[in-house]
């Protein structure tokens, strides 16, 4: 089913919304046959400026851009988290139309899983044995399965992902290699609010007090740089956790210093090393994640 959605803003091109995978695939095959390059931005909706920046970059680097909106149930290990995830489809379509995103794919759960309801069984090694995987069992199987499915439908030349979901990005890169997808995985910098909080659809679920407190997460990550490499890894980790947990509304679930490629834990500082600090913080509302890169001097 192909629909044309008119934007409230003037636009030279209306977005086309597809609900069926085979119809989208056929339309994109025609674009490929015409020599067009295809950029792809997969999302779970509730779009914000971070998503907008991904689409704009894709538009700048490709002839055609596809944005998918699909809240994938298999990557939620908590049913209530899935049920509470924000849905703002009408606003999402308006945003995408306003920036001339050519194709929008909004499938149902049945459409995405009807052909093969089984999850991918891939070996991600150490990538799936730490951080998010420890606290969200099965999460990355769900992510890998749906992104694999989306890649097969869209067949993009380039796919764009935000670095906020740092571990997920590593998983998707690994999945793409193992499944032999011919696509460039392009990482895009995290966009932040004025107070430093990483932009996220989950931020919509924060109440006013939680939202104010959440600014401590990025402040804490930045503060670590003051102590690296003069104090031990464990000492810096403790200092950052204490700083964030000065708010009774926040509790750090994990804060790890890891190798940006392998995600293996860093236990000591070595000059000129590239280190990623990855964190997950619990509120009484949504769970928030963030990360920051440190160069050891």
Active site members? 51
CA-closest candidate to residue 204, choices 45, 46, 76: 46
For every residue of 110-147, DSSP letters joined together read HHHHSS--SPP----GGGGSSTHHHHSTTHHHHHHHHH
- Contact between 55 and 150 under an 8 Å Cβ cutoff? The reply is no
Nearby residues of 194 by Cβ (< 8 Å), 6 or more positions away: none
Sign of CA dihedral 120, 125, 137, 280: negative
3-state secondary structure of 186: strand
- The Cα–Cα gap between 199 and 218 comes to 11
What's the maximum distance between 2 C-alpha atoms anywhere in the chain? Answer: 60
Rg (CA), the chain: 20
3-state secondary structure of 40: strand
């Amino acid at each position: 089913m192909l629909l044309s959605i008119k934007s409230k803003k003037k636009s030279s091109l209306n977005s086309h919304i597809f609900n069926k995978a085979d119809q989208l695939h056929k339309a994109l095959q025609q674009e490929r046959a015409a020599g067009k390059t295809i950029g792809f931005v997969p999302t779970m909706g509730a779009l914000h400026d971070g998503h907008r920046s991904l689409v704009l970059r894709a538009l700048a680097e490709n002839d055609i851009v596809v944005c998918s909106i699909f809240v994938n149930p298999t990557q939620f290990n908590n049913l209530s988290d899935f049920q509470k995830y924000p849905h703002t489809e009408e606003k999402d379509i308006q945003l995408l139309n306003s920036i001339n995103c050519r194709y929008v794919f909004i499938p149902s759960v049945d459409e995405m899983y009807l052909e093969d309801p089984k999850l991918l069984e891939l070996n991600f090694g150490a990538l799936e044995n730490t951080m998010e995987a420890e606290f969200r069992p099965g999460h990355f199987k769900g992510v890998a399965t749906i992104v694999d499915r989306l890649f097969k439908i869209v067949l993009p030349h380039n796919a764009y992902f935000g670095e906020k979901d740092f571990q997920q990005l590593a998983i998707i890169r690994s999945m793409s290699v193992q499944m032999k997808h011919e696509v460039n995985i392009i990482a895009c910098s995290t966009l932040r609010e004025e107070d430093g909080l990483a932009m996220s659809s989950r931020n919509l679920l924060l109440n006013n007090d939680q939202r104010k407190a959440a600014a401590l997460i990025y402040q804490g990550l930045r503060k670590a740089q003051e102590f690296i490499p003069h104090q031990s890894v464990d000492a810096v980790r403790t200092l950052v956790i204490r700083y964030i947990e000065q708010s009774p509304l926040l509790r750090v679930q994990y804060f790890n210093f890891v190798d940006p490629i392998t995600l293996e834990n860093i236990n000591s500082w070595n000059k000129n090393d590239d280190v990623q600090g990855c964190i997950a913080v619990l509120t009484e509302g949504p769970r928030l994640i963030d990360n920051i890169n440190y160069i050891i001097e």
